[in-house]
Amino acid sequence: MRIIDSKIGRAEIEKLLTKKAFDEIELPPHIRESNKKIFGADLSAAEVVRKIVNDVRKNGDAAVIDYTKKFDGVEIAAENFLVTAEEFIDAENSVEEKIVDSLKRAAENIRSYHIEQLPKSWLTYRGENSILGQSIIPLERVGVYVPGGLAAYPSSVLMNVIPAKVAGVGEIVMCVPARNGKINPYVLIAAKIAGADKIYKIGGAQAIAAMAFGTQTVPRVNKITGPGNIFVTLAKKEVFGHCDIDMLAGPSEILIIADKNANPIYAAADMLSQAEHDPLACSIVITTDKNLAEEISAEVEKQLAKLPRREIAEASIKTNGLIIVAQDLAEAIEFANISAPEHLELLVNEPFNCLPKIKNAGAVFLGAYSPEPLGDYFAGPNHVLPTGGTAKFYSVLNVETFLKRTSLISYTRSDLLNVADDIIRLANAEGLTAHAEAIKKRN
């Protein structure tokens, strides 16, 4: 674990905290070799995705079937893409009741939280009964992507589908890669609890393209949400404009600000809670105490030894684990804002005193008893968060992700005549005389 003193200079610290763009992430050698066999050339991730997206756009189900076999090793016919009622029954018969009960309680928390986010349509009167307003309209059809590679994520199902249901989306389509032809039963149960309408057993960039353009089997959607690997993320980037997307979600991140009173056991555990996601996951602590930095580093090594997913977490910590010793709390917060992390934990004495100074973070966890997994699974706020520094301009997935705002304008004749001269002047100033004439004709 690297321990860096901030005295090395702000420029160096900024370099350490700045993430690579999604299309700059280098693929592991085994994945590059696999892609080379499939495409006959050593392509970048972006080039691979572009080929897949274009192929699915042109050839529909046939391309989806082809790439599902090549990448996932699963042979599936188009008529078997859709999860059947029998598969739901099989899932219900293979799950633990207590885990399902926990999913239901989590779903209720998530639903209650997101109901509070609902905006309202409104109308206001101006002049002689002229009306201005805003209409809030849910999207007609949304596609949700749920990862299914290194782990299963029923929690992601709840976090994507429930806000869409609260928003009033007409139809929610879900795509999940099926390992050995089957979807994890808890993912299916979560989909049923949350209210997904259709679930397709396809994943990867081909699933994103299928939802974006539609195929003979998969319906075209208005927006795609949900996290995935680099190929899924780049596919969302590639199809943006043909449909909307929520955000470009990369590898998971946590940044912890810890003062001298922070518990090193908690900090280490929280770092590893992110590191076990993915070798590319990023875990950073910024502390004001050098001794605490060393204690956290030692504790990470100690806890690593007991993790079932040690190999993944160890690779993540080795590559992207970092502890920075800041001069004071103000500098620690400044560095956190530069990083703009997905998850920001404040393990400090007075976390709410720091909150007004936090400008860039996907979600903020305040105090020792608000660990990041609380937000991942149960508290209610969404866990689909901006990563890779995009918290500087992206928001957490929320109910408004699934809504459109339409402006409403209704003027009476007298109110239009009162402002006609202003509109005509402005139109003529822009050289748009037909605009001016459209007003003049009503005089």
Which string of DSSP letters, residue by residue, matches 38-75? HHSS---HHHHHHHHHHHHHHHTHHHHHHHHHHHH---
Residue with tokens 């459109």: 404
Cβ-proximal residues to 107 (8 Å cutoff; 6+ apart), any chain:
158, 162, 190, 193, 194
SS3 of residue 5 by DSSP: strand
- The candidate with the shortest Cα–Cα distance to 395, out of 360, 357, 344, is 360
Residue with tokens 């109110």: 415
- The number of helices, as runs of H, and strands, as runs of E, in the chain is 18, 14
SS3 of residue 249 by DSSP: coil
Cβ-proximal residues to 421 (8 Å cutoff; 6+ apart), any chain:
none
DSSP state of 170: S
Residues assigned a catalytic role:
342-343
CA–CA distance, 144 with 142 (Å, rounded to integer): 7
